[in-house]
Structure 1
Amino acid sequence: MNAPRSAPVRLLAASLVLAASTVFAQDTIKIGEINSYKALPQNLVPYRQGWLLAQEEINAAGGVLGRKMETIFRDDNANPGDAVRVAEELLTREKVELLSGVTLSHVGLAMADFARQRKVFFLASGPLTDKVVWDNGNRYTYRLRSGTYALAASVVPEAAKLKKKRWALIYPNYEYGQAAAAAFKENLKKLQPDVEFVAEQAPPLGKVDAGAITQAIADAKPDAIFNALFGADLIKLAREGKTRGLFEGREVVSLLTGEPEYLDPLKDDAPSGWIVTGYPYANIDTPEHKAFLAAYQKKYNDYPRLNSVVGYATAKALAAGIQKAGSTDTEKLIASFKDLQFTSPFGPVVFRPQDNQSTLGIFVGRTAIKDGKGVMPSGTYIDGSKLQPSEEVIRKLRSNAS
């Protein structure tokens, strides 16, 4: 039997264990990532893959500030309340040093408010509502992906070139859809003052009666259609509209439709010739994207989706921001992200100091059918800095930012 250790020996052993655990904790920078993994697998499996690829590259290059990046992923169940609860657990139990993530707009707004209340840095990766950085913006919250206003503004020049006078609008009846329709109308009227909006269909999200919508739009006899439906709602509209000939002889301008996440499920029912925002991954001829595409395909034996880019770029932005700050201290991160520059698969990106929004841009092009499936074969990249309202408008929107 071993002799019992004396109190000083036990105290020394405990101190060594504590010191070892402290050193281990300091070896990693823990990031809490919250997203709707179960609700949106078509978006967030690619997102997580892109994030992990970036993290692998960052750590292989020596990490950040000499520490490895470690990400703790949690599901928000597409619910704002669950997101806030998980965020609190990540801070208190997992001891993460900052928060990131979110795809759904209503969850993004809840997380931005949580960041403000808890005074913790939060990089929103993909919620489209501009309230995250404008009306409800705060100094703790930054956003990577361009929002609804920029999406709508990106397609307006192409819409104006069509010189179509009578437009119909289709959009989901919640924050994203309402804001998209309003921004499209506002910006198109500036370029084409005589435009008329002859019909609007705003079904509840996920409850599209495609037959009724198609008939109502056809009855209005528009020259062109603006669409902001996505996912399952887009599939119903595209198939019903194709069956009934709604799109024959009519131009369609559609947000998000050129993203592989939404084109792939349509297969040969995908629309051809629509003007869309999206991701022509096979034909982006820049060194940054070629390197990303090759690395992604090598690691996953699959092509990236737009959310792959969003996840990858979010992780890279965090690494750049922490490196510049020299710390994960909240106040230092807030300062470092002002005018932060980093390289994304789409090229250089800057976080704008006036509204905490990054300049990650948007591709605009037309859809086509190739080998029995929908594709976006090419697109023009528009830098996000060119798709924002005036400085005066942004100042007014952020007048209550805290």
Structure 2
Amino acid sequence: MHFKHAARCATLVAMTLCAGQALAAEPIRIGEINSYKAQAAFLEPYRKGMELALEQINTGGGVLGRQLELISRDDNANPGDAVRVADELLSREKADVLMGTFLSNTGLAVTDFARQRKTFFLAAEPLSDKIVWQDGNHYTYRLRPSTYMQVAMLVPEAAKLKKKRWALVYPNYEYGQSAVATFKKLLKQQQPDVEFVAEQAPALGKVDAGAVTQALADAKPDAIFNALFAGDLAKFVREGQTRELFRNRPVVSLLSGEPEYLDPLKEEAPVGWIVTGYPWQTIQTPEHGAFLAAYQKKFGTYPRMGSVVGYSAVMSLAAGIRKANATDSEKLAQAFSGLQVDMPFGRITYRPQDHQSTMGAFVGTLAVKDGKGVMENASYRDGAKFQPSDAEVKALRGNK
């Protein structure tokens, strides 16, 4: 009897150990949401960046002894669809965490979903200030430098121009509206006599470049602030070049130095524009050099800004899970507070006060070389140095 009982116990122990090992071997599932069809120029490189990070992490033993698995869904650039697929990723695909989004409106929708469901969400790309301020919550963190941060990097360059009459052009949704509001506020602080003489705010993806260019020219501004991107930017640049809108008129422009938006312009790239962007050819740091070499080896092409964002987002999640020693949303939210991550632009910190990372951006001017648009005289601006005061952040976030 004693022998049979002992054998039965041994069998049960073995089964329990096997079950535990099987459970430990379950992958960590990242539920990723994005506008792949609508914003392919940025998000195909972004997908490649994620793939590179996953490969490096998983071949290195994974995280907490488990492999990372990416489950992506397209949100059709629609906030309602973004929430629907987020729910599907949690309920049907059993995702441990949520990550991604591109447009500010979809990012805000998933931010609110994360709050309601008490689920950790890393907003990789959307730039809306509200994600970490007015609509910020315990469970949401953001990687990319916000609209406020990138505009704050450009305003000192705009002030140096000493131009009094400014015209503004931007896509008429959260990102564009926020960019212009911040530009007005910060430039006015540095240059109290500035005037804003014209605004053009076409719907995203639907710019009538001829009408917009003519309206701006009619206002006779001394300088222009632009926040258009992707196809809207290309149409505006081509029409503006044709009508000589930019002749002897400086332009300060968000995102226009990113290869996703600069490369399609080729020799039509607007020379002299002051931009934020990603001059991958000229960044001389060990961190970026290693990333560039690995990316080119795997994909046979150079990285775009999306590549850096996708790679850094996955690396951030891996670092956060390691620090939390868990995938539990509550523990992850606590672990991300003050989390430091090494990425291609150097080390970043996720700020405890508003859950914004200190990832920076490059500021430089556009030029054309060998028939291609490039950034010249680019320098990196540390995101930690382009933030409102902690008191302002606290007021914006309330008690969130």
> So what's the TM-score if we normalise by structure 1?
0.93
Secondary structure of residue in 2 paired with 1:52: helix
2:267 paired residue number: 268
Measure how far apart 1:306 and its partner are: 0.3
1:355 paired residue number: 354
Q: How does 1:208-223 map to 2 (within 5 A)?
A: 208-223=207-222
Secondary structure of residue in 2 paired with 1:282: coil
2:67 paired residue number: 68
Measure how far apart 1:27 and its partner are: 3.7
Q: Which amino acid aligns with 2:263?
A: D
Secondary structure of residue in 2 paired with 1:81: helix
2:291 paired residue number: 292
- 8 Å contact kept, 2:171–2:177: yes
2:224 paired residue number: 225
Q: Which amino acid aligns with 2:153?
A: S
2:397 paired with 1:398? yes
1:387 paired residue number: 386
1:188 paired residue number: 187
What is the CA–CA distance in structure 2 between the aligned matches of 1:130 and 1:281, rounded to whole Å? 26
Runs of 5+ consecutive residues of structure 2 not aligned to the other structure: 1-10
- 8 Å contact kept, 1:52–1:312: yes
Measure how far apart 1:81 and its partner are: 1.7
Measure how far apart 1:207 and its partner are: 2.0
- 8 Å contact kept, 1:338–1:353: yes
Measure how far apart 1:21 and its partner are: 9.7
- 8 Å contact kept, 1:135–1:400: no
Measure how far apart 1:338 and its partner are: 0.6
1:246 paired residue number: 245
What is the CA–CA distance in structure 2 between the aligned matches of 1:181 and 1:222, rounded to whole Å? 16
Measure how far apart 1:18 and its partner are: 12
Q: Which amino acid aligns with 1:126?
A: E
Secondary structure of residue in 1 paired with 2:271: coil
> So what's the TM-score if we normalise by structure 2?
0.94
Q: How does 1:1-400 map to 2 (within 5 A)?
A: 23=22, 26-399=25-398
What is the CA–CA distance in structure 2 between the aligned matches of 1:203 and 1:252, rounded to whole Å? 18
Identity rate, percent: 66
What is the CA–CA distance in structure 1 between the aligned matches of 2:15 and 2:263, rounded to whole Å? 55
- 8 Å contact kept, 1:276–1:364: yes
**Which 4+ runs in 1 deviate beyond 6 A?**
15-18
C-alpha RMSD over aligned residues: 1.9
Measure how far apart 1:332 and its partner are: 1.0
1:6 paired residue number: none
The superposition leaves residues 288-311 of structure 1 with CA deviations (integer Å, 9 ceiling, x where unpaired) of 000000100000000100010000
* Structure 1 pair 236–98 and aligned structure 2 pair: CA distance change class (3 A): same
What is the CA–CA distance in structure 2 between the aligned matches of 1:88 and 1:207, rounded to whole Å? 30
Measure how far apart 1:208 and its partner are: 1.5
What is the CA–CA distance in structure 2 between the aligned matches of 1:88 and 1:189, rounded to whole Å? 43
What is the CA–CA distance in structure 2 between the aligned matches of 1:275 and 1:113, rounded to whole Å? 35
- 8 Å contact kept, 1:280–1:378: no
Secondary structure of residue in 1 paired with 2:188: helix
- 8 Å contact kept, 2:266–2:371: yes
What is the CA–CA distance in structure 2 between the aligned matches of 1:171 and 1:111, rounded to whole Å? 24
- 8 Å contact kept, 1:101–1:123: yes
Q: Which amino acid aligns with 1:173?
A: N
Secondary structure of residue in 2 paired with 1:272: coil
